[in-house]
Structures are given as C-alpha cells and as structure tokens.
Chain A
Amino acid sequence: MTKGLQAAAAAASLAFLLAGAAAAQTLTMGVGAPVTSLDPHYHQLSPNTAVAQMIFGGLTGTDGSARVVANLAESWRAVDETTWEFKLRQGVRFHNGSEFTAEDVAFTFQRVPNVPNSPSSYAIYTRPIRQVEIVDSHTLRLRTAVPYPLMPTDLANIMILDRETHGSATTEGFNAGPMAVGTGPFRMASHRNGDRIEFERNDAYWGTRPHWQRVTYRMITNDAARTAALLAGDVEIIDQVPTSDLGKLRVDQRLALSEVTGLRLIFLGFDHSRTEASPFVTDNDGKPIPQNPLKDVRVRRALSMAIDRAAIVERVMEGAAIPSGQFLPDGAFGHVPGLVPPRPDTEAAKRLLAEAGFPQGFRLTLHGPNDRYPNDSRIIQAIGQMWTRAGVRTSVEALPWTTFIGRASRQELSSFLVGWGTSSGEASNPLRNLVATADRDKGYGASNRGRYSNPEVDRLLEAGMRELDDAKREALLQQATRVAFEDVGIVPLHIQKNTWAMRRGLAHNARADELTRAQDVRPAATAGTAAR
C-alpha cells in the first residue's frame, strides 16, 4: 500500500510540474456541488451563488469572514428609520459594454420576484423594499415599511442585471450563454450542464483583476473521485475535502490546504410540538410514554450533557470542526462570549434524568440524514453510543435527505440531526429561522422543525430586528441567543470548518460561506503568503 502511494506521489508530482509549467494562467477547479442554473435569480443555492459572483455583482458583497463590504455600491447609509440610500460605483460596465446605472438596479429588483417557475427565488430579499427611488444615475433610495437593518446584508445576494440586455431574458438564455452577461471578474465562455463551466477573464473588470485568464469549473460530486482527480493532477483545487482524506492530504508535500471556520452549525432538534406521547420515545419496555419527556428542560439538558463534543470533533470529524454551544463562531455578529457547550458528564446526565423522573432512562430513536453533511450518519451513531451510556437507549436511523427532511418538517420525528448555514453571518438569521415561534405572517420559524417556542426569545428577536443601531442590535440578539440555548431549545454540536485542497504553489482565500470562486485563488508566489 505505502509503496504504491509513493509511486503515486512520484507520478503525480510530475503531472503537477507539467501542468504548472504549461498553463500558468489557466485554472481547473473541481467542485463538489452541482451548479443548477446560471440565471442568478432563478434558484437560490450556494453553488449557484458562487458562480453568479464570478459572472455578476451585487450592490454589496461579503468578504471571506462574511462581513458586508462595498461592491457595486460604494457606500450606503440609513437616511431615516425606513429609508436606505446607496451610492453606486461610477464607470462600471457590463461584459457587453453597457453602462451600469441606478436604472439597472431598479430593473433587477423588479425581475427578482417575477422569474417564472423558480423553485426558490430571491424575492425574500427584495420583499421588504416598498419603493425604489432613483435620485440620480448613481444614487438610489430604498424605502421599507418598517425599519430594516439587514438591507445591506440582504442585498449581497441580489446580482444586478442590465436593463438593456436582460429585458426579456429567460433562464434558458442564461444557461445557454448569451444572457450570462454581468459586471463580474469573469465572463462565461461555455457551459455544459452538470459537467463543467468555462470562464474567461473580464479584462475590463472594475476591481482587482483575477490572475487567471481561463478557468474550468468542473463538477465532481463524488467525494473520493474529487480527491482522486486532485491527486491525479486533473484539477488543481477542490472544495469540500472529505474529512477522511484530510490527514493524508495535510502531510502530502505536493499539496496545500486552506481552511477556515465556517458558518454551518450542526445541531440536534427535539420534538417540542407534542406535550403528549412523542412518536419515537418509549419506555424501556417499548410502550409509549404519555408525557413527552423532551418537553422537560432537565431531560434536554441531560441529553446535551451526555454528548462528548470534543470526541465527535476529534474522532468523527477528524478535526474539521469546532465544538459549539451557540449558533455562530467567535468574531461573528451576535456571537455570545462565554456561551460554551456543557462539559460532557455521563453521571450528571443520569442524575438529571432521574430528577426528571427517569431514573431508568427511556428509549429514543435519533434520526438524521446520510448524504447531506460531512459524516452526518457517523455523528448520529456516535451520539447514539453516548446517550445509550447515559441510560437513554438510542437506536439510530439514517435516511437519505429526500425522505428525511420532509418527515422532519412535518414534525414526524422525536429527535433529529440537521445543520444550518448562516449565510448572512449574523445572529438574527438563525434565531429567526431555527428557534423563533413558527409564524407565517412574520416569516419566523420557517425551519423550526421541532417547533420550539419561547416568548422571551421572540420578544428579544423582534426588538433586535427593528434596531438600526448595530451595537444595540447585537446586544439584543446575544440576549435572545443566550435565552434559547440556556433553555436547550436545540442542542448545538459543532461548527464545521470549510476546507479546500490544492496543488502546492497556489494560494486560496478560504471563505466562511463555503463558496468556491476562481477570484479567491492565485499563485502563491505573487501573493507572498502560502495557503495555511
């Protein structure tokens, strides 16, 4: 085995050298998630966003740590409680030479909610806008019904199109190429659906020109095949590196890794929707328990306490995560300093369970997906081990995401593992979606699959959502977070690290939001610093 791998090393390093010499200005990337559409307003999905950010641009953008930065808008400010003003960048042109103006922004906002057949539109970001006022060709005022502090954050998701070019653009037009015209650093050269996209550099780009003249963006969804493609020298950088390969790649002299703590929390949800018997909770004889034990905060706390997060991170995730006691990692807007997960303690968990009336424990089935998150089915097995040792005899059922998520959303499960990627990078987003009381009209709790409900959390969150002052808003969101986690509304496990692997000689700015874009890659020499 080892000998074979050494031979592999020799062969592949040769391939690297050749590839490096012959094609200094071209880059081949292997990504794990398929891009489904080049229409930036058709299907909201991270791989689509990544490609959209190569071809198009938004008024705002986010940096590698998910902080909002200027993009097509140079600056913005809240004129009053319900009006945002954006100053647009001068002299920006679309790939076809057409000039970028406020008219284009107004046109874009109009198109976003009206893309036919969209399975997941971007309208949630434009809905708060009641009125768009064009002050001059490069100044824009957006009026909202209620104070809306998240406007600059939300607008990073909306790619600006050209009114002249995209007047009657269809999704097919984007996919086929002619309509894939934006202001971004790359133009689309060719697109083979589900296989690859080829890009050329936009030499007239207004910002820092990327290093690569040509980029091939290949979709290799099978994890092992993606790693193999890198090892064989067929691609130069891959994303979503399987944790099982990390140890090997880390010590490989021909490769470099880039890594950053991400924004995706893996957590457990509980059935809060039933006070009576919950479907997958029984006593030790297999009979239903009339009162749902998961409604008791002591039981939830015991279950959280029984989990050894450090062991999961070290043994199952192979270090590619950090244990977490809350939504966001340190440094993010709304992170609560000092809110850490409980120390693992099987005995204390048993005592708490006894206190709650279950000295002999009970039986529980823990559900989870097996094809969604890194090691998802392994994590639930590990938790099954830990809970069983604490007296809650756990069986584990791993299902494909397609069947799992529907059942979780219909409150058919008692406990389940899911993840949440906070794309906005701030705390109101997970609070609103995961722990706020489900309420259609407010748009709260849409992903609150356990139906946790706590009036105190709701009150603090709503106050925060109206607060334009950043410091005050952060304090409110922190308080809401603290209340939700002290009540163990959900059980946080860990926050994933995002990892990329590339041939040595490349440098990559790892992004917390998991997006893989060619403008973040450059030769290590010109940057001066190697990838971490």
Chain B
Amino acid sequence: MTVFLLRRLLQAGGVVLVMSLLVFVGVFAIGDPVEILISPEADQIERERAVKALGLDLPLWQQYLVFLGKALQGDLGRSFVFNEPALQLILQRMPATLELALGATLAALVIGLPLGLYAGLRPHSPVSRGIMATSILGFSLPTFWVGLMLIMVFAVQLGWLPSTGRGETVEILGTRWSFLTRDGLAHMAMPALNLALFKISLVIRLTRAGVRETMLMDYVKFARAKGLSPSRVTFVHVFKNILIPVVTVVGLEFGGTIAFSVVTESVFAWPGMGKLIIDSINVLDRPVMVAYLMIIVLLFITINLLVDITYSVLDPRVRLEGKS
C-alpha cells in the first residue's frame, strides 16, 4: 500500500511537470498576452515596458526555468491581470465550483440511480422506455443552450429562481459557501441541474446496463432460487455489483465536472474556477492558467486514487498493486 501510494505521488509529480510545460508552450503558441492585455492607446515604448514588467522579454525556456524555480518555493506566480498570487485567486474561487460540482454529482446519483434501477429491472415497460428516451436529451443538447432555456423558463417566465449569480454566502474556516443559505441554494439549483444533466443520463444508462447484466448472473439466480425477497436480491446482490462502474464513472466525472463547469459557470455568471479559467484563457493570463491546471491535475490524481481504493474495498478481486 505504501509503495503504491509513493509511486502514485511520483507519477503525480511527473504529470504536473508535463502539464506546466504544455501550458507554457501552448500559451506561447496561442498568442501574445501583452497584445491582449495592453490598452489600445499604448504606444510602442509602453508596450516594451509591459513586456518587461510581465517577464515576457526572456526566451521561453528561461521564463519556464524562472517559473520552476519559484514554483519549487511554493510561488506559482502572480496573475498578469489581477496582480495577485495565482494560487490565492484560484483558492478563493474554489468553494463556488466545488459546491456546484458536488451538488451536480449528488443530483445525478439521487435522480439517476433509482431511474436506472427501474429501467434495468423492467426493461420492456413503457415507463422504462420513456426514461431511456428522455435520458438521451441529457447529453445531446449543448450545455449552453439548455442553460439559457432553464433561465428563460424558471427565471424569466415563471420567476421561481434567480437568473444568474451566486447567492448569499456563509463563512466557514475562512472560505465562503452558499449551500447553507436558502438564497444560496436557490441560486445554485439551475446551474447545478445544468451541470448534472449529462451525468444523470450517464448514471441512468450505466445502472440500467449493469442491472440487466447482473440479473442474469448465476449468483443472482441462485439467490432468487433460495427464495430471498426480490427487494433483498435487488438491493443487496445486484446493487452492490453495479456500483463499480457507477463509482468509476461518477468519480471520474467529478473531476470532469470541475474541468467542464466552464460553460455552465459562464452562462450562469457563477463566480467559480471555471469562470476564472475561461476569463484567463481569454486574456492569456498564463500564471493563472498554469496554476489552475496544476491544481486540477492534482485533484484528478487524488480522485482516481480514491476511486482505485474504493474499487479494492468494493470488489476484493481488484487489488492495489505495489508491483505487478
């Protein structure tokens, strides 16, 4: 186990390094940050000054080395745009995105699992067909479009929910969370649902597929033959077995949700990390992009680690491997 963890950590370091290099080269290829950030009024002398001030006058490899040197001391650089430490900017925005992603994941499980279970147990009933057909909507319509439709219906037409933004927040341990207030929840409902749509469909489909398959397994047949009640068979034997793919995908999707919350956050003006990264990409704020990607990579690696550990707990056939 220790060897396993140590190895994962080393790999994580490598991934982060590759990521930072990619972003450096990538941003260099996309465009010149000064060209984007500088006021159109600026003359050539002011442009040269800005290039120097942002440290962009050095050759790219030198800029990268400077960055690495500072990063090793825990300094990921200052945002070109905000002149604040990139890490701090991201951490400030993180709670907003986390609560949105958690809300979406929760919604996906709460809605997706029962529906999928039903559709799997009664694959030929009209209700099941209805569920499956509707679930297609979840991933075929572009997120931005569904987002606007949600706003049109629930905020503009019905007036039930606030259209955009994040609601009232409560401070816990120096971070601000909005899911503890009524206003906060009201603001969160639509973006969380918007973000969850794809996941709900995914969970429904995975659960259904899993259930159908497991019902035909010998141990399930055996359990039924033994005269166990259908609900016991369903919830103990079947459910436990289908959790593996669902856990994989939901775990995996949690990271993806954070990385893909970009569109939802910009449609709903949700002040999270996704909004920050899209704004940073739009102005080529490299320090923020690098820091953001590094944090996300670490997050992914952690989640995958957790998923792998969960595997071994849920299914003894899968072992964590120190060495192959």
Q: Which residues of A are at the interface with B, using a C-beta cutoff of 8 A?
A: 4-5, 7-8, 11-12, 14-15, 34, 36-37, 39, 42-45, 116-121, 123-124, 127, 171-172, 175, 192-196, 218-222, 224-225, 228-229, 231-234, 371, 400-403, 405-406, 409, 420-421, 423, 429, 433, 438, 440, 443-444, 446-447
Contacts and interface: CB of A to CB of B under 8 A. Distances in A.
A120 B42 contact: yes
A171 B49 contact: no
Contact of B46 (A11, A45, A120, A429): A120
B200 interface: no
B279 to A, nearest CB: 6
A409 B41 CA distance: 14
Top 8 closest pairs, chain A to chain B, by CB: A443-B43, A195-B271, A44-B39, A119-B37, A406-B31, A232-B155, A440-B44, A232-B163
Contacts of B40: 420-421, 433, 447
B266 interface: yes
Contact of B165 (A196, A401, A438): A196
Contacts, number: 176
Contacts of B31: 402-403, 405-406
B1 interface: no
17 contacts: A5-B157, A44-B38, A117-B83, A118-B50, A119-B54, A120-B46, A120-B50, A121-B46, A123-B49, A171-B83, A192-B271, A220-B164, A229-B163, A229-B165, A403-B30, A409-B35, A446-B44
A188 B41 CA distance: 28
From B45, B163, B279, B284, residue with most partner A Cβ within 10 Å: B163
Nearest to B78: A117
Listed residue (A5, A14, A220, A420) with the most chain B CB atoms within 10 angstroms of its CB: A220
B39 A172 contact: no
B41 A429 contact: yes
A221 B266 contact: yes
Nearest to B145: A224
Interface in B278-322: 279, 281-284
A69 B277 CA distance: 40
Contacts of B162: 232, 234
Contacts of B284: 402
B254 to A, nearest CB: 23
B36 interface: yes
A482 B38 CA distance: 29
Given A194-B279, A221-B269, A229 B164 contact: yes
A7 B30 CA distance: 46
Nearest to A46: B39
Contact of A433 (B41, B54, B268): B41
Given A44-B41, A120-B46, A402 B281 contact: yes
A220 B275 CA distance: 11
Contacts of B163: 225, 228-229, 231-232, 234
B151 A36 contact: no
Contacts of B42: 44, 120, 124, 446
Given A219-B269, A231-B156, 5 more contacts: A121-B50, A195-B271, A220-B269, A228-B152, A233-B159
Given A120-B37, A120-B42, A222-B269, A228 B81 contact: no
B158 A446 contact: no
B247 interface: no
Q: Name which of A43, A116, A123, A194 has the most chain B CB atoms within 10 A of its CB.
A: A194
Given A225-B267, A429-B41, A234 B155 contact: yes
B276 A225 contact: no
Contacts of B166: 195
B76 to A, nearest CB: 15
B186 to A, nearest CB: 11
A446 B156 contact: no
A194 B46 CA distance: 26
Contacts of A36: 81-82
Contact of B159 (A12, A34, A119): A12
Contacts of B37: 43, 119-120
B80 interface: yes
A295 to B, nearest CB: 24
Nearest to B154: A232
A406 B32 CA distance: 6
Contacts of B276: 194
Contact of B84 (A4, A118, A172, A446): A172
Given A36-B81, A42-B83, A406-B32, A232 B50 contact: no
Contacts of A14: 159
Nearest to A154: B41
Contacts of A405: 31, 35-36
A228 B36 contact: no
B165 A119 contact: no
A119 B44 contact: no
A528 B267 CA distance: 37
Given A175-B82, A221-B269, A406 B275 contact: no
Contact of B164 (A192, A225, A402, A438): A225
Interface string B12-30: 0000000000000000001
A218 B165 contact: yes
B241 interface: no
A406 B53 CA distance: 19
A225 B54 contact: no
Nearest to B55: A117
A231 B31 CA distance: 37
Given A225-B148, A406-B35, A124 B83 contact: no
Nearest to B153: A4
A377 B38 CA distance: 23
A522 B40 CA distance: 32
Nearest to B162: A234
B244 interface: no
Contacts of A225: 148, 151, 163-164, 267-269
A196 B45 CA distance: 34
A168 to B, nearest CB: 15
Contact of A124 (B41, B81, B164, B268): B41
A116 B32 contact: no
Contacts of A429: 41
Nearest to A438: B44
Chain B CB within 10 A, most for which of A39, A124, A402, A406: A402
A222 B53 contact: no
Interface centre among A5, A222, A224, A229 (most CB of B within 10 A): A222
B82 A193 contact: yes
A12 B45 CA distance: 52
B47 interface: yes
Given A11-B157, A37-B83, A401-B282, A120 B35 contact: no
Nearest to A407: B31
B121 interface: no
A43 B46 CA distance: 12
Nearest to A157: B41
Nearest to B268: A225
Contacts of A443: 43-45
